[in-house]
Amino acid sequence: PFYPIPFGRRDSLTFANLSTTLANLPSPASNVTVLISVLGPKGLTFTDLVALSGGHTIGRSNCSSFQNRLYNSTTGISMQDSTLDQSFAENLYLTCPTNTTVNTTNLDIRTPNVFDNKYYVDLLKEQTLFTSDQSLYTDTRTRDIVKSFALNQSLFFQQFVLSMLKMGQLDV
């Protein structure tokens, strides 16, 4: 969606360092409780969280960012997450045949190069890479929001704009 960027914000003259970034950006292995504990104090709501996560409708990810859904973190042995569609998981194992594979894959398997609401359809079908994404559908606090965005792309676009504008005003 198109939206105007408000005037008046001054960007920093320095770049965020790794520790600042990691402290403000939840891990892809996070669940909704962790996500909202990081983003809630910034004034972002469950609706904002689900809308902003829709940005995952484009982009790619390294196997290391979702290996926890395919392999045991201690032993490295194959152990599929129960909230992962079987056929989708089989394809991920082809892309990431070991827990140390450095390959990448699309975040959205339906329309990887289009900003749309298919990310939410992926969630309904248990075909997303990150625990943090799939938990938006498995958690009762955010499930209905996911469903509404999966059914109504215009609603998703409208809320994405509102949430992006809100996020853009953080820590001004």
All domains of the chain in start order, with CATH: 30-168 (1.10.420.10)
pTM (two decimals): 0.91
Structure confidence by residue, pLDDT tens digits, 79-130 = 999 999 999 999 999 999 999 999 999 999 999 999 999 999 999 999 999 9
Residue 21 annotated as lining a ligand binding site:
no
Q: For the range 39-46, what are the long-range contacts, defined as Cβ-Cβ under 8 Å and sequence gap of 24 or more?
A: 42/170, 42/171, 43/166, 43/170, 44/163, 44/166, 44/167, 46/141, 46/142, 46/145
Distance from the Cα of residue 18 to its chain's centroid: 20
Encode burial over 88-121: b for 16+ CB neighbours within 10 A, e otherwise.
bbeebeeebeebebeeebbbbbebeeebbbbbbb
Residue 116 annotated as lining a ligand binding site:
yes
Give 22's contacts (C-beta < 8 A, 6+ positions apart): none
Residue 111 annotated as lining a ligand binding site:
yes
Encode burial over 9-26: b for 16+ CB neighbours within 10 A, e otherwise.
eeeeeeeeeeeeeeeeeb
* DSSP 8-state class, residue 78: B
Residue 56 annotated as lining a ligand binding site:
yes
Residue 97 annotated as lining a ligand binding site:
no
What the block records as the tokens of 92 is 């991920």
pLDDT at 172 (0 to 100) = 66
Residue 6 pLDDT > 90, yes or no?
no
Structure confidence by residue, pLDDT tens digits, 13-24 = 777 788 888 888
Dist CA 66 CA 114 (whole Å): 22
